[in-house]
Amino acid sequence: MTRSENGAGSLLSRLSARLFRPPADMYLRVNQVDTLREPLNAIRDTVAKCEQQLRVLTNSSGDLREFAEREIAALKPLLLRFAIESPEMIPRQLAESIAYRGEYANALYRAFAGTERPLCTSPQPIPLTSSICHQCHFLLDQYRFWAQAMKQRPRFARKDWEWFYIAQCLFERGFLNPGKRGIGFGVGREPLPSLFASFGVEVVATDQSIEAAEKAGWAKSGQHTHDLSPLNERGICTDDMFFKLVSFREVNMNKIPVDIDGEFDFCWSSCSLEHLGTLQYGFDFIENSLRTLRRGGIAVHTTEFNLSSNLDTIESDGLSIYRRNDIYEFLTKMTNQGFVVSPIDWKPGEGFAELVVDMPPFGRGEPHIRLKAANYDVTSVGIIIQKRP
């Protein structure tokens, strides 16, 4: 081998050994992305220049050219693992690399939180206010506590945030204690009725009739219930306590019966009111749900929030997405009527999982804090309204 061949081989060997053998946990070191981006792009540019120079070495021996091309070809796949087209693509690329991939994976959450287990045996007050869904909430020990209490693994999923949000809001305000009474609207198969019963709370779980659910398509969705049977499937609560404390009743959320007015310490709904037909029907439901509360009682509702526009949105029989202005006007109305409205945190976060907008079909391994619905980026929002003592 000639001197030039030895030099080129030595250079490429050093590049390969030093620069292209990333540690196995590289994808988990998300806090180093910004510092890695510039050198990785520089390395990629350097290799591209080397390749270009090799093409003009027309006087080089065939062995040298073949050797160099073979070495560069071997290095390119390693570079592609770290190909970063723009800073905006970093979250999606990392998310797709370490995302939740099934019940026994959950690498994405563990990469951020370092553990799935809560450190506390009882959640401490945060305290939560009305708020849109934030990545920082998922990293709280309280989030892991409630995930464990509901017998599920913590992950970056919007629905799981809603359940955590409702439970934490009620707990830190003293409503999840024996002797309290709550009603849930449109509960489907969610774990909250059995969770609240495990704290000694008497719960009335409600959903629409089976006829209405079949007409709207919910009966086949796996998100509707017409009795108690699916509400303790996870075994969150002992059977004796569950059947003692939890009852079921059919309730049309657009026509809350007057016989339950003033019967409960709290009420809740989790992403149900946006399916009532119009934006106004959803607000009418929240207002009517306040009738069911005793003095000092509290309502916690979550729904869809439009991050993209305060002018345009979706409003249809099956789905309506609320804008900031819609919610602001409604909460102002509730305040003027004498209710205590928790101030709302409108600020969109800029965390890793918040920069990824999940695209349909959903459930492909990316964080699901924000999603694309029609032309809008959507997340969840929680609203807290209390009746004065």
- Nearest to residue 383, comparing CAs of 128, 125, 131, 134? 131
- In sequence order, the 6+-apart residues with CB closer than 8 A to the CB of 199 are 171, 176, 177, 178
Determine the pLDDT at residue 27. Answer: 39
Whole-angstrom CA distances from 64 to 45, 236, 320, 345 are 22, 68, 65, 63
**Average pLDDT, stretch 378-383?**
97
> What's the gap between Cα 26 and its chain centre?
24
Under a CB-based contact definition with an 8 Å cutoff, are residues 245 and 288 in contact? Answer: no
H-only helix segments in 1-106? 3-19, 33-55, 62-81, 90-98
Query: When comparing pLDDT for 147 and 224, which is higher?
Result: 147
Determine the pLDDT at residue 355. Answer: 84
What predicted TM-score, i.e. pTM, was given to this entire model? Answer: 0.76
| pLDDT confidence tier of residue 154, bands split at 50, 70 and 90 | very high
- Nearest to residue 108, comparing CAs of 89, 88, 93, 87? 93
CA gap 134, 138 in Å, rounded: 7
pLDDT digits (tens, 9 = 90+) for 54-113: 666 655 566 666 776 777 777 666 555 555 555 555 666 666 666 555 555 677 888 888
pLDDT digits (tens, 9 = 90+) for 259-278: 999 999 999 999 999 999 99
Determine the pLDDT at residue 186. Answer: 94
Determine the pLDDT at residue 31. Answer: 43
Domains of the chain: 3-84 (no CATH), 117-386 (3.40.50.150)
Determine the pLDDT at residue 325. Answer: 97
pLDDT digits (tens, 9 = 90+) for 96-125: 666 555 555 677 888 888 889 999 999 999
Q: How many residues does the chain have?
A: 389
- Nearest to residue 27, comparing CAs of 365, 373, 386, 369? 365
- Nearest to residue 159, comparing CAs of 367, 386, 376? 367
Range with the lowest mean pLDDT among 67-76, 184-193, 251-260? Answer: 67-76
The overall average pLDDT reported for the chain is 83
| pLDDT confidence tier of residue 32, bands split at 50, 70 and 90 | very low
pLDDT at position 212 over 80: no
> What's the gap between Cα 385 and its chain centre?
23
Determine the pLDDT at residue 30. Answer: 40
**Average pLDDT, stretch 308-333?**
96
| pLDDT confidence tier of residue 334, bands split at 50, 70 and 90 | very high
Q: How many CB atoms lie within 10 A of CB 206?
A: 24
Query: When comparing pLDDT for 147 and 34, which is higher?
Result: 147
